[in-house]
Amino acid sequence: MSAKYYTQFILTDKAYRYGNEFCGVVELNCPMEQSSDKRDIEAILARNFDLQQNAVKLVSWSRLH
């Protein structure tokens, strides 16, 4: 069962230095626990922006119902 999350994140890549704060919805294949590692969401966001995973810093996330 997939789960959708509302995310707020910062892109640290130099190409985004003048506009690097974003928000959006990310869909994962399975729900995460609150204590889970957020690297899954960061990996999806990085892939969508064609960046390395370390160029994405997840600020907050919450599951959509």
Q: Are 4 and 27 in contact (CB under 8 A)?
A: yes
CATH number, position 16: 3.10.20.10
Q: What is the mean pLDDT of the chain?
A: 86
35 class by beta-carbon count within 10 Å (0-12 exposed, 13-18 middle, 19+ buried): exposed
Quote the domain boundaries for residue 41.
3-63
What pLDDT score was predicted for residue 15? 86
Tens digits of residue pLDDT in 45-58: 999 999 999 999 99
Number of domains in the chain: 1
pLDDT band at 36 (very low <50, low <70, confident <90, very high): low
| Whole-structure pTM value | 0.80
